[in-house]
Amino acid sequence: MFKQFISVIPGADIFMISSLCIFMAFFVLVGLYLLWMDPIHTVKMQHLPLENNDFEPKI
Amino acid sequence: MSTQSNPLEQFYYDNKAVRNFAIATIIWGIVGMLVGVIIATQLFEPAANFTQYGSFGRIRPLHTNAVIFAFVGNAIFAGVYYSLQRLLKARMFSNFLTEFHFWGWQAIIVAAAITLPLGITTSHEYAELEWPIDIAITLVWVAFGINMFGTILRRRERHLYVAIWFYIATFVTVAVLHLTNSMQLPISIFKSYYVYAGVQDALVQWWYGHNAVAFFLTTPFLGLMYYFLPKMANRPVYSYRLSILHFWALIFIYIWAGPHHLLYSSLPDWAQSLGVVFSIMLIAPSWGGMINGLLTLRGAWDQVRENTILKFMVVGITTYGMATFEGPMLSLKNINAIAHFTDWIVAHVHVGALGWNGFLTFAILYWMIPRIFQTKLYSEKLVKTHFWIATIGIAFYAIPMYISGFTQGMMWKQFTAEGNLQYGNFLDTTLQVIPMHQMRAFGGTLYLIGAILMAVNLFKTMAQGTLLANEPAEAPALLTIDEIAPEAHWHRWIEKRPIQLLVASLIMILIGSLVELVPTFMVKSNVPTIAAVKPYSALELEGRDIYIREGCVSCHSQLVRPFRSETERYGEFSKSGEFVYDHPFLWGSKRTGPDLHREGGKYPNSWHYHHMREPSSMSPGSIMPAYDWLFEQSLNTSMTEKKLSAMKTLGVPYEESQIKNAVRDLNQQAKEIQMQMAGEQIKIGADKEIIALIAYLQRLGTDINKKQ
């Protein structure tokens, strides 16, 4: 039989481990940011789409 | 926040572009859905395969390309051009680029509609268009990007609302996906070979295919949802924080999930596992988005009851939730083992496509058109009818397909008490699901009728109003960065800086892509070579190109998975080393017919001869289309030499003499097949295309049995 299924590639672990680290670090940052976000700013951002007065058809 | 501000400036929103894209959406939508109904019909009535230009294998990609890139594509552009200008308080950057974008995109669609029925295809799903069209797509996409970024840079609103982030991520990622998956070596203007082969080609293709779903069918629509839903309901999005988390998590995680299309294939295990893990994690951001959308309507459900447009949104967002729950489930290996290659996947895709993309598009069109035409909808009642007919259509589509998929999955695996396959004849499983396919075609027809009602309604609306081509608006010019208070918060920093946002999203998607792709490419030992596997002969290679041209891959897989039910039915399971000369890979994603990887030597040449001419003569009741033109058309060998030499450039070890004598060798092998069949009273010219196809079918999967 041929050696068909390779479960380990030499050098691939570094990709896995570093990606895990990047992943964790990134979500910790986003998480912290969300915790500290200024509520006034949030409200302003939320209302951005509602600022324009489109033509309102009378239904 | 600064209290200073500049004097008001007058400017005009470009509504003409929005109108143009909207009209294109409506027309291409109907065309694409119509082709969908035709191919659905062909799957229970093979007589519906009219001529070679209308046969299933050739027009199935026409359907997918039309609905994805023409219908959904134009819908995205219509929505983006409307919302981007208003969110940024600026007109689109360049009228020329807008026109170029619009007409360029339509020209690409027309080119696709011409080339695909002609059999000009690369065979990569959702990337079938040949290289000159790929280049055109690149140009138009860049034009769109410049137009979008130009607008962003000239904006009068400092902060970039989350919808725009989704648009930016869409732009960057689609660019990366398209370029990577279009690496082809041209042979002629209408023919090219992918530079990747076998497993690597498969990985690139499904990294692309999966992320096309993510970044063409999902992220732009989430952006549209975050803009239009608050507009329609006249209330802000439920949670802005959630939308940010949703954004970053979605783009970061999605890009990794591609290998779930290749479970149990010859892709290395670790890549498969990575794909599964990230697919499961995807539930979180996807549901975050859905919940954020639905909760935006909290306390406004009385509105939903009366407002059909909101109903479309609610059903659309709900089906998004269903599809994004189902997707991760389908990535679980044990579920995938049953569902893969069956109609289950077709059901899954269409819940997302018809529900999420279709319904959001309808809602947005119904909302935008009366506004830019300064009128009201021609008929509210027709909108209601459309809503109900389309919803019932989805049910009639999806439920039978789930039943059919489940039936197929079970029947393929069913063993008798004695340990034999219960349904050893594949055709039995095909015939079993025909009633389901009939119902599906009915469901699709209902959905199409709904779309036609919408077209009538919207065109009447346009006729009764007048387009406000240039809509006046005013806003103060932006203060420069120095003028505003420098309260620096990193995320607000990024909200104000589109280029940085672009770079950040690019990095996010590149991380996943590289981790997934690089090791498979760099490590040579990743694909163990099998000494017995040799390149195709010239005739077989030409036969393979006919297989590609006819789109056999849309009904036949070439990948025997390592299950007893499959090795029993088809033979030895597929090894990655067997595909090293396959530019492109032809594993397929659907088994409407049986797997063909071990087809070689299974039947005599004469069987294939009769079967290809009239499949039901060999397999009574077969739904495979007849391929009579292959018996009339002569094989074009003017490119054969060039094809072999291109393959050599790509690393296929052809000898110089093999290339030089390609046509001579080809004729000789064809003669042998002709003579052999003549012994069975079959008269056919050795130069006919069918001979090449038979040569290829007989070669399939036989190398590993050869003695060294």
The per-residue pLDDT for A59 is 47
* Interface contact A58, partner B, CB < 8 A: yes
Q: Which of B236, B370, B491 sits opposite A57 (nearest CB)?
A: B370
**Averaged over B297-318, what is the pLDDT?**
92
Cβ-defined contact of A48 to B87 (cutoff 8 Å): yes
The per-residue pLDDT for B197 is 87
- Mean pLDDT lowest for which of B35-44, B150-159, B364-373, B378-387? B150-159
- Mean pLDDT lowest for which of B200-204, B387-391, B453-457, B564-568? B200-204
The per-residue pLDDT for B525 is 53
**Averaged over B233-259, what is the pLDDT?**
87
Q: Chain-centre distance of CA B204, in angstroms?
A: 14
**Averaged over B364-385, what is the pLDDT?**
96
Residues of A in contact with B306 (CB under 8 A): none
**CA–CA dist B395, B388 (Å, integer):** 11
**B188 DSSP β-pair partners:** B191
Residues of B in contact with A37 (CB under 8 A): 241, 491
* Interface contact A53, partner B, CB < 8 A: no
Report the mean per-residue pLDDT for chain B: 91
Is-contact B174 B141, C-beta < 8 A?
Answer: yes
Cβ-defined contact of A45 to B162 (cutoff 8 Å): yes
pLDDT tens-place string over residues B404-459 = 999 999 999 999 999 899 999 999 999 999 999 999 999 999 999 999 999 999 99
Cβ-defined contact of A9 to B526 (cutoff 8 Å): yes
Q: How many CB pairs under 8 A join A and B?
A: 125
**CA–CA dist B271, B144 (Å, integer):** 34
**CA–CA dist B625, B617 (Å, integer):** 12
The per-residue pLDDT for B523 is 52
Cβ-defined contact of B159 to A55 (cutoff 8 Å): no
Q: Which of A5, A37, A47 sits opposite B241 (nearest CB)?
A: A37
The per-residue pLDDT for B507 is 83
Q: Is the pLDDT of residue B236 over 50?
A: yes
Task: For B134-269, list the strands marked E by DSSP.
Answer: 184-188, 191-194
Residue B516: closest C-alpha in chain A: A15
**Between helices B498-522 and A13-36, what is the axis angle to 10°?**
160
SS (H, E, C) B461-512: HHHHCCCCCEEEEEEECCCCHHHCCCCCCHHHHHHHCHHHHHHHHHHHHHHH
The per-residue pLDDT for A6 is 46
Comparing CA positions, the residue from B70, B49, B223, B83 lying closest to residue B152 is: B83
Residues of B in contact with A17 (CB under 8 A): none
- Mean pLDDT lowest for which of B29-43, B170-184, B359-373? B170-184
Cβ-defined contact of A49 to B468 (cutoff 8 Å): no
Q: Chain-centre distance of CA B415, in angstroms?
A: 35
The per-residue pLDDT for B527 is 63
Q: ω into residue B584 within 30 of 0, thus cis? A: yes
* Complex confidence, ipTM: 0.74
* Interface contact A39, partner B, CB < 8 A: no
- What is the CATH superfamily name and number for domain B538-699? Cytochrome c-like domain (1.10.760.10)
Average pLDDT for runs of 10 along chain A of length 59: 46 66 80 84 86 65
Residue A22: closest C-alpha in chain B: B511
- Name the CATH topology of B302-473: Cytochrome C Oxidase; Chain A (1.20.210)
Q: Chain-centre distance of CA B79, in angstroms?
A: 20
pTM for this model (two decimals): 0.92
Is-contact B276 B332, C-beta < 8 A?
Answer: yes
Q: Which of A7, A34, A55 sits opposite B241 (nearest CB)?
A: A34
**Averaged over B595-602, what is the pLDDT?**
94
The per-residue pLDDT for B479 is 67
Q: Any idea where the domains of chain B sit in the sequence?
A: 302-473, 538-699
Q: Which of B244, B268, B371 sits opposite A34 (nearest CB)?
A: B244
Cβ-defined contact of A16 to B274 (cutoff 8 Å): yes
User: Does the fold of domain B538-699 match that of domain B302-473?
Assistant: no
- Mean pLDDT lowest for which of A21-30, B393-402, B495-504? B495-504
